[in-house]
Structures are given as C-alpha cells and as structure tokens.
Chains A and B, each alone.
Chain A
Amino acid sequence: MIRYDEVRIRYPRATRDAVAGVSFEAARGAITAVVGPNGSGKSTLIRALIGRMPVMAGRISIDGAPTASLRAEEIARRVAVVTQREELAFPLMVDEYVGLGRFPHLGMWHAAGERDRNAVDQSITAAGVDHLRDRRIDALSGGEWQRVRLARALAQGGDALVLDEPTAFLDVGHEMAVFELLHRVARDGHAVLLVSHQLNLVARFADHMVLLHRGSVAAAGTAADVMRVDVLSPVYEWPLVVTHDPAVGAPALVPLRQSQPRSP
C-alpha cells in the first residue's frame, strides 16, 4: 500500500544523503518495521511521506499513486501519521483532540457531522480510551497519551498507520499494550508502518523488517532474516548475541559488555 522506490533524500547543506536509494513496501494487513541505529534515516522516511522533506530521486507512492501527485489532505485521508513527539501548547479535551483527526475530511465551511462523530467514537473505543474521553490531555500519563494519539490517527479513517517510535518513553507494560493494539489494527486490514529502536519487540510483532544503515537497506525480510548476529553487529557496531527463548517465540538481541564483568 505504501511503497518506497529507490528514494533518495538529502538535508540542505549536508554532504551525504540521509536516505540513499531505499526501496520497500508496507502492505495491508501487516506490520512493517523500519529499524536501524540513530541517524540511519528512519524518521526522514516518514517526514518525506508527509512532504516535510523533499524527495530528490525515486518516489513514494500510496496504492500506486505517487505522493507528489496527491494533495496533502488526500494523503491524510489515506495515511495517518503519529510523530515521535507531540506537545500541545494549549491542552484540549481527549475527545476534542481525537476530533482533530477528522480535519482532512472537513472543508472550511463544514461543521463535523454524524459520520465524523461516529468515526471519533469508534476510534476512541478501538484504542481503548473510552474512560479518558473527558480528561484533559495534560492530565494523561505517557501511556494514555500515546493511546489517545493512536485514537486520533485511527479517526483519520484511512487504512494505513505510520508511527515514529510509538513506544519511546513507555514502560514494559505500556509498550506491550501499544504493540498489541497495533497488531489488532493490522489484523483488521490496516497497513502499519513503524519506525522503532525496540528490536526485540519489533521482532515479535512485525511481519516484515527493514534494517537501515547509513541511509541504505542493510537487510530486509522476516525477523529470522534480520535478527542475526552477522547482520546486526556490523550495523550497530557493537558486540552482541541473538538468543532464542522458546517462551518468547522470536529471536531476541542481547548486547554484550565491552569487557566481561569480573566474577566475584
């Protein structure tokens, strides 16, 4: 559904490409995860999708239509983006905030109608934040806020969710809750594309992984294809091991200490 074809992006005044010819596809009904070290170009891919970074070569397309040929609100009606950080300068109520997800559907002269209200209600329920409806955004915990942001993205009504570090700053329980929610969203037919540092979580939930290194794809495929010592160690430039715990059911990465701790 969302396709990157040989995409090249360079920041103004930079000497090398931030993204140097990246191709992959995020399909409907699946979670696609882009992973990689800091500065590998992960977030840049998302910013380019919503037109905040110019694409120098290659193209990004949504269901075959290049984003360059789509108006911003047409993209927003199909693809909802949850950025890494979002701080409201002036707090809103949760339902008012989720209501802003309907923005791409509302003309300047139109008030929100029955359809918009239904979409807001359904996405608040889907994200499991019914009990927070009448709370102010600045009274939410980090985990609650992240779920409310997901509700806002679902209210946009498209069939793709794009998330930049959806579990940054969340504890283990809230991390799992967010990924379980994304899993349900994907199972319901959405394309879910996310950028994350949480390799072990991603390995358990993602159907497709793309490992970026210095703006290029270093590896891509299932968790078994990417979560390998010979693939990850050179990319992260750190010694590590990959373990397979049957209770987890997916490969897990464990970075090693630089020198083995002395035994007592």
Chain B
Amino acid sequence: MSFWRWVALVVALVAASLLALAVGTVNIPLLEIWHALAGANHSMASIIVRNLRAPRVALAILVGAGLGMSGAALQGTMRNPLAEPYLLGVSGGAAVGAVLASAAGLSAALLPLAAFAGAIVAVIAAFAVAHAAGARGDPRVLLMAGVVVGAFANAGIMVVLANAEPNTVRNALWWMMGSVADGTWTQIAILFGYVVAGGAILVLLGRHIDVLALGEDTAAGLGLNVDASIRRIFLIASLIAAATVSAAGLVGFVGLVVPHLVRAAGVRRHRPLLVGSALTGATLVVLADLLARILRPPAELPLGAVTALIGVPFFLIKLRRLV
C-alpha cells in the first residue's frame, strides 16, 4: 500500500474522532474542543468533551483497533476468511462471566473483571478441548473447540437468565449489545495496555502469520515451529479480544469485516495488514458510536447493532467484487 493511503487512514481516524467529539445533542465547535482537550477552562462544552465524549472516543478507538488486529491475526493463522475473535468462545465466555456476576448481585464496577475472567476461562477451555482431541495446534480443531465452548456458554447464559430478575436480564442484554458509553479512564488505561502490547507482539509475529497462511506443512518446511506459533497467536488475539469485551461488551462484526476492507485496499502481508486493521477498526467503531448516539436521540442504539449495520453493506460490496 502506498504512503498516501496510510496518510489517508490516519487522517480518516483523526477526522472521525474530531467529528465524534464535536457532534451530539450539543454541537461543539472545533476551537472549543481544542480548548477543552488542552484543559484550560471549565465551560459546559469543556465538561461535555472531557468527561463524556473523550472517554467514549478513546474507548471506541481501542475497541476497534483491538478487534481489527485480533481478527486479522486469526484469519491469517486459521487460513479462514470467516474467522473472527468471537468465534473462539471469547464472547460467550465473557457473557457468562458478566451474566453470572450480575445475577449474583455484584456491583457494576466488577462486571468487566467478571467478563474478562469468563473470556479467559473460555479460551482455556477451548485449548483444553483441542488438546483432548489430540490436535494441539490444528487451527480447524481449535476453531471447532471455540465454537463448541461458545455454544455451551450460550446455553449457560439462557439457563441463568431464565430465572433471573428483570434488572439482571436488562443489564446482561445491554452488555451483550456492546457499548462504549460508560468507560472509565482506568478501564481505558488497562485496555490501552492490552491493545498496544498485544498489537505490538502480533505485528512482530506478522511474518509468522504470513507463513502460516501458506498452510501448516509449507510453514513447517520454512522453519516455523507451527504448533507453538499457532497457539501463541491464538492466545494473544484472544487476550486482546477478551480485554475489549470486558471494557465494552460485545461489538460484533468489526473483527470479521475490518481485515477484509484493508485487504481490499491492496494490503496483503500481515505486518501492514495488522496496522491497517487497527486504524480502520478504530475509525469504524468511532463512527458507529457516533451514529449510535445521534440517529435516534435521546435514545442510544446498541453499538454492536450499528457496527453490523455499517459492516454488512461493506462486506456485501466486497463479496460482490470477490465473485
């Protein structure tokens, strides 16, 4: 991809972020956004930008970047264009954690922790299932194990919700639809750590993913320790996804569609693909959250629904070009 396309990706993210800071129930001019971010005054506009919109935009950027990179890494490693972070049982496990915490009456502040724990348990379970099946590094078996664990988790959620109080059901549902509305700066800082560290490792492993995408035997012939490499990439991609899910619930379709958009722009090797997916995913989620806020005020649409509404047409166009 040419230099100018990279510039365009960065400019798009900055523009989307500024737009999301400016537009809403109260529209704020760019100059005031600048003053607010500089922290100079205590006007109404400053408070809206600093306390309401900036954390939202920051969380949206991190969620989008994390899911985009996680999806790009998994699609290449599994050699499967349909692979995405949630297929590995991460989403189901996180949902179980959140629903259980909510049903047990734990405070909302503990929900992200419970979700993260649930996601990690699901990933470990998926690896254990694959290991028991005798194929520790076979991506197809890992994929199936993830689907099975996810299905089991969904069944668990339904059992818990069947007898739950309406409040618990509402909490769980809101969370499963995804939202970047209530992010605290602490949560954002933690997610930042996961996305930046995890993303950096994935970019370093980018050439391994290139080679894995050729098939396991060819990768082994090129000197890659295939099983260990697949496990490592799965684990990091799952950790990133689990961290995003625990901070913002389930934001569907980003991990699936973003890598395809970047590939359609002519990026083929995984190092640039991962970076491009981070930028594009961030832009997509920032815009989706903006739409979620402004389409039907004062109500907010679920973020996960909006990402799918934006993602599906893109995906269909891409599919049409493919056939």
Contact = CB atoms under 8 A, between A and B. Distances in A.
A75 B213 contact: no
A73 interface: yes
A103 B223 contact: yes
B223 A76 contact: yes
Contacts of A71: 223
B204 A108 contact: yes
A103 B221 CA distance: 10
B218 interface: yes
B134 A12 contact: yes
Contacts of A72: 220, 223-225
A103 B207 contact: yes
Contact of B213 (A73, A77, A80, A89): A89
Contact of B81 (A80, A90, A92, A156): A90
B232 interface: no
Interface in A101-118: 101, 103-104, 106, 108-109
Nearest to A84: B217
Nearest to B201: A108
Contacts of B268: 90-93, 96
Contacts of B214: 86, 88, 100
B68 to A, nearest CB: 16
B39 interface: no
A50 interface: yes
B269 interface: yes
Given A12-B134, A90-B213, A104-B223, A83 B218 contact: yes
Interface residues of B, number: 27
Contact of B215 (A47, A73, A86, A103): A86
A25 to B, nearest CB: 20
A96 B80 CA distance: 20
Interface residues of A, number: 34
Contacts of B269: 92, 96
A103 B225 contact: no
A77 B222 CA distance: 8
A127 to B, nearest CB: 16
Contacts of B215: 83, 85-87
A205 to B, nearest CB: 22
B222 A101 contact: yes
B200 to A, nearest CB: 12
B220 A52 contact: yes
A239 interface: no
Nearest to A78: B223
A74 B223 CA distance: 7
B300 interface: no
Interface centre among A50, A90, A92 (most CB of B within 10 A): A90
Contact of B217 (A47, A77, A156): A47
Nearest to A52: B220
B131 interface: no
Contacts of B81: 89-90
A83 B214 CA distance: 11
A39 interface: no
A45 to B, nearest CB: 13
A224 B158 CA distance: 72
Given A86-B218, A90-B81, A103 B224 contact: yes
Contact of B222 (A90, A92, A156): A156
Nearest to B224: A72
A82 B220 CA distance: 11
B79 A89 contact: yes
A150 B201 CA distance: 31
9 contacts: A71-B223, A76-B222, A82-B221, A83-B218, A89-B75, A90-B76, A103-B207, A104-B223, A156-B222
9 shortest A-B CB distances, which residue pairs?
A76-B223, A73-B223, A81-B221, A89-B79, A104-B223, A83-B217, A72-B223, A50-B220, A103-B222
Interface of A: 12, 47, 50-52, 71-77, 80-83, 85-93, 96, 100-101, 103-104, 106, 108-109, 156
Interface of B: 75-76, 79-81, 134, 204-205, 207, 210-211, 213-218, 220-226, 263, 268-269
